């Protein structure tokens, strides 16, 4: 089997989709060494691009600017030209590479003449367009539906998203398979020395609450910041709130709240956290607070659990699904509940002891080896359903 695997999302400094793309590809090549999973655009180009996109070093706690809600006309034109060139080169690779199947791990597939498998991580652009930049919504309206309709099969990260795909996209159940994300083996209980090394490197306090994730509307960080700021001063003094993650689209309200109030009340912004620092950052925290309105899976809470920490999460359907009974669940809009949970965690760290133990066991359910084997089974089924392993069905 020869699979063309689009690795564009794994080139840039990686967030959720980039990590899942890289980890799934690595697991496939490990589990099935006699088959080909070609990570487009190839090793040399990806290494060159990775150097170009490498984030500039900045001091711990430096404030990076949020992404603009509407990019400039020049930037939009540049992106359009870049996408067109990328698409043309990708189609050429698909045409002349003698591949059996194309896997698009990031929502919108290119139009090619071989069977296509698409991973849909979430449907937030369709369900909540107000959370996304206008140009992104427009692109999805133009290409997403056509791409999904033409795809041979659709993968989703959770049963919650699968239900949405069946309901919103009108897909037949046999065309959609749930393949949960895995957790990188680096996320494991950390030794005291490992935690202390990260604490020293990032200049972290002895105790802190933690949020990890890109700052964007659906993450609901405003509720978390207001809840923390409402705590009595003597409680906040015991345990600051640390934010790990880049400013994302439409994050101006969160940025304003942080600068004008939260940072004066014990909230500290780390910015983008390097992969090697994340396990120690998780393990050193009293708890991770994850108030997201909507997710397709929710990696940070499960990563926190894998590191032996406790996560307090929202009742968003996919998050509730992946944490099971191993985390307290709070309504994302219930600010007093988030405030009380943070207060209780600070004054009585032992109150979450049960969830720390349960979380380790829960996280073990999610491995990239399992994800690779389930994905490979879908590949086999798709190729078995096409004449001679080939199809002229095209994706948008």
Domain locations in the chain?
Answer: 2-59+71-182+367-389, 192-363
Host H or E run for residue 294: none
Pick the CATH number of 192-363 from 3.30.70.20, 3.40.50.2000, 2.30.110.10, 3.40.50.300: 3.40.50.2000
Strand partners, 118: 104, 154
What is the dihedral sign for C-alpha 95, 96, 102, 104? negative
Token pair listed for 293: 């309105």
Task: Give pLDDT tens digits for 8-22.
Answer: 877 765 567 888 999
CATH number of 2-59+71-182+367-389: 3.40.50.2000
Token pair listed for 60: 């711990």
Distance between CA atoms of residues 4 and 116, nearest Å: 9
According to the model, what pLDDT value does residue 362 have? 98
Q: How many other C-beta atoms can be found within 10 angstroms of the C-beta atom of residue 365?
A: 14
According to the model, what pLDDT value does residue 174 have? 96
pTM, 2 dp: 0.86
Domain 2-59+71-182+367-389 and domain 192-363, same fold? Reply is yes
Residue 150 near residue 395 (C-beta atoms within 8 A): yes
Strands (E), the chain: 2-6, 36-40, 101-104, 116-120, 153-156, 176-178, 209-212, 241-244, 267-271, 287-290, 311-314, 329-330
Distance between CA atoms of residues 63 and 224, nearest Å: 19
Contacts of 97 (CB under 8 A, 6+ apart): 2, 4, 38
Give the chain's residues under pLDDT 50.
Answer: 44-46, 48-50, 52-55, 57-63, 387-396
According to the model, what pLDDT value does residue 33 have? 96
Contacts of 210 (CB under 8 A, 6+ apart): 241, 242, 244, 281, 282, 285, 286, 287, 288, 289, 304
Residue 28 CB burial class (10 angstroms; 0-12, 13-18, ≥19): buried
Q: What are phi and psi of 55, to 5 degrees?
A: -65, 145
């Amino acid at each position: 089997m020869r699979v063309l695997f689009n690795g564009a999302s794994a080139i840039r400094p990686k967030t959720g989709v980039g990590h899942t793309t890289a980890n799934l590809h690595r697991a496939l090549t490990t589990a099935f060494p006699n088959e080909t999973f070609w990570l487009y655009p190839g090793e040399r180009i990806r290494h060159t691009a990775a150097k170009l996109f490498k984030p500039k070093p900045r001091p711990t706690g430096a404030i990076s600017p949020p992404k603009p809600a509407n990019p400039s006309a020049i930037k939009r034109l540049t992106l359009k030209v870049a996408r067109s060139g990328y698409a043309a080169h990708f189609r050429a690779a698909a045409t002349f590479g003698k591949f059996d199947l194309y896997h698009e791990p990031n929502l919108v597939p290119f139009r090619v003449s071989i069977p296509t498998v698409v991973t849909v991580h979430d449907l937030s652009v369709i369900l909540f367009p107000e959370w996304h930049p206008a140009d992104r919504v427009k692109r999805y309206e133009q290409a997403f539906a056509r791409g999904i309709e033409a795809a041979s099969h659709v993968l989703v990260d959770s049963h919650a998203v699968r239900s949405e795909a069946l309901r919103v996209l009108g897909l037949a159940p046999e065309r959609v398979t749930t393949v949960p994300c895995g957790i990188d083996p680096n996320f494991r209980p950390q030794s005291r020395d490992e935690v202390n090394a990260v604490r020293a490197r990032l200049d972290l306090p002895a105790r802190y609450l933690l949020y990890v994730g890109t700052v964007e509307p659906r993450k609901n960080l405003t509720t978390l910041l207001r809840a923390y700021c409402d705590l009595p001063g003597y409680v906040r003094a015991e345990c600051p709130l640390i934010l790990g993650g880049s400013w994302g689209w439409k994050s101006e309200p969160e940025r304003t709240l942080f600068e004008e109030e939260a940072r004066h009340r014990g909230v500290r912004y780390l910015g983008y956290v390097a992969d090697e620092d994340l396990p120690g950052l998780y393990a050193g925290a009293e708890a991770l607070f994850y108030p997201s309105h909507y997710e397709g899976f929710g990696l940070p809470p499960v990563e926190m659990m894998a590191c032996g920490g406790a996560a307090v999460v929202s009742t968003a359907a996919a998050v509730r699904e992946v944490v099971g009974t191993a985390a307290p669940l709070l309504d994302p809009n219930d600010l007093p509940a988030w405030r009380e949970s943070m207060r209780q965690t600070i004054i009585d760290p032992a109150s979450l002891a049960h969830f720390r133990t349960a979380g380790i066991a829960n996280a073990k359910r999610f491995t990239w080896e399992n994800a690779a084997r389930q994905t490979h089974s879908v590949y086999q089924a798709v190729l078995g359903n096409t004449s001679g392993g080939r199809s002229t069905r095209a994706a948008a």
